[in-house]
Structure 1
Amino acid sequence: MSDKILIFYGSYRSDRQGIRLADYLVRQLTARGAQAELIDAKALDLPMLDRMYKEYPEGEAPSALEALADKIKAADAFVFVAGEYNWSVQPGLKNLTDHFLEEWYWRPAAIASYSAGRFAGARAGLAWHGILSEMGMVVVSSTLAVGGIGKALSVEGEPIGDGGASLAKAFPRFADDLAWWTEAARAQRERKPPPY
């Protein structure tokens, strides 16, 4: 069975660097046999959160929100590509995730952080760990952290330089960790319905 993995990316900037990491993850997870799909907050262009998906009467949610809810509910796992803005999370990615709650439950999530600087988005990654846990996901312990994002991945999302070499070396463990938890969570959901 092929894992359905959604990769979420949230930058709205015109010169987006993190999209390179998102594209890399889609390609690498697909090469490992997963059904990996990029969910780009900018392309979806959801409004600032007014109502969560669950707060719309059935059949009245905007079509983009309805389609994304269906994808989230059908997914086996999630990867959050977390850029660091001022020691914290990207507003676009946070807005996208906050539109949902129960749809996330009982599935694993992994965090791939990045920044232009040497801390590689680690502070955003740390913030996302708590956020995703609170939203009902099991956050895997392996993370990716890419510093100097513009010099670690080419425009096409191919690893370059020392940063790219570090990413390529770290990716297999990250993917193995996510795959293990994905299989475990799927087996448990099939064995026993979640308690809520």
Structure 2
Amino acid sequence: MPAITEPLRIAVLVGSTREGRFAPVVTKWLSGHLGQRDDMRADVVDLAETPLPTVFPAFGQQPPPGTEEALALVTPRLAAADAFVLVTPEYNHSYPASLKNAIDWHNEQWHGKPIGFVSYGGLSGGLRAVEHLRLVMAELNAMTIRNTVSFHDAWSRFDADGSVKDPAADTAAKALLDQLAWWAHALRDARSVRPYAA
């Protein structure tokens, strides 16, 4: 069976929903890199614009009203993705509750797909959030790639137009997306031959 050659569908999940968040600056920069690639098509899933319920039903119980409608704005987009990039800040040495909530409302949508990370924060640059996310996504049968982009003291790393001041960040973004593309192609080809065995 020939390999699929259509562009990879990359879901960019924006994890922060706080008022005054810095996430849109980082996401816009990342989207610029994705937009330059012929092999990828980005779908930005902003959890501030597509909020999910925060109350999970007890086992055997019906979900809260509005759950189905809220999930319909997110779930099909995650299911259609060939790969993901999670844009996350670091809150209290971990990642935002809104991101964990979005992860937990889904399961098979993550299976057998690669995930890259772009993190930001203070001195740690969000790396502790990424390390926690690696453990969670392994439990959901996803493949996290090695390369990340991390913005330490993020608010000083971008100019007024949202461009990064240090070109090394652009180099890191290319390396991340190249690695994500390799895994996304490999795993998409594998899933086209046989379903992922969770």
TM-score > 0.5, shorter chain as reference: yes
Describe the shift of the 1:184–1:49 C-alpha distance in structure 2 as closer, same or farther (beyond 3 A): farther
User: 1:155 Cα shift?
Assistant: 5.2
Judge conservation of contact 1:51–1:99 (CA < 8 Å) in 2.
no
Of the three residues 168, 192, 195, the one matched with 2:194 is 192
Q: What's the offset of the Cα at 1:154?
A: 3.6
Question: Which residue in 1 is equivalent to 2:87?
Answer: 81
1:134 aligns with 2:139: yes
User: Which consecutive unaligned segments of at least 5 residues does structure 2 have?
Assistant: 1-5
Residue 101 (structure 1) aligned with residue 107 (structure 2): yes
In the alignment, the residues of structure 1 paired with residue 56 and residue 160 of structure 2 have an alpha-carbon distance, to the nearest angstrom, of 35
1:153 Cα deviation from its structure 2 partner: 2.2
Residues 119, 61 of structure 1: CA spacing in aligned structure 2 closer, same or farther, 3 A cutoff? closer
Equivalent residue pairs, number: 188
Q: Decide whether the 8 Å contact of 2:149 with 2:172 is kept in 1.
A: yes
CA distance in 2, matches of 1:18, 1:110: 16
1:18-47 CA-to-partner distances (Å, cap 9, x unmatched) read 221112112211211211011111111222
Output the amino acid matched with 2:72.
E
1:191 Cα shift? Answer: 1.8
Q: Distance in 2 between matches of 1:155 and 1:97?
A: 32
2: distance between equivalents of 1:157 and 1:37?
20
Give 3-state SS (helix, strand or coil) of 2:86's partner.
strand
Q: Does 1:28 align with 2:33?
A: yes
Distance in 1 between the 2:99 and 2:110 partners?
A: 15
Query: C-alpha displacement at 1:67, in angstroms?
Result: 3.2
Contact 1:121 1:146 in 2 (8 A): yes
Q: Does 1:18 align with 2:17?
A: no
For residue 8 of structure 1, report the CA deviation from its aligned partner. Answer: 0.6
Is 2:53–2:70's contact at 8 Å kept on the other side of the alignment? no
Which shows bigger deviation, 95-104 or 180-189?
95-104
**Shift, 1:12, TM fit:** 2.0
Instruction: Tell me the distance in 2 between the aligned counterparts of 1:49 and 1:110.
Output: 28
The answer to whether structure 1 residue 6 and structure 2 residue 8 are counterparts is no
Kindly indicate which of the two structures has a greater share of residues assigned to helix. 1
Q: CA RMSD in A?
A: 2.0
Change (3 A) 1:121 1:67: same
Provide, for residues 145-174 of structure 1, a one-character-per-residue CA deviation record: whole Å limited to 9, x for no partner: 1111111124543212xxx42311211111
Share of identical aligned residues, percent?
A: 28
Does residue 157 of structure 2 align to residue 145 of structure 1?
A: no
Q: Paired residue for 2:75?
A: 69
Query: What letter matches 1:85 in structure 2?
Result: Y
Query: 2:163 is matched with which residue?
Result: 158
SS at match of 2:135: helix
The aligned residue for residue 128 of structure 2 is 123
What letter is aligned with 2:37?
Answer: R
Residue 119 of structure 1 deviates from its aligned partner by 1.4
AA matched with 2:31:
V
Q: Aligned with 1:96: secondary structure?
A: helix
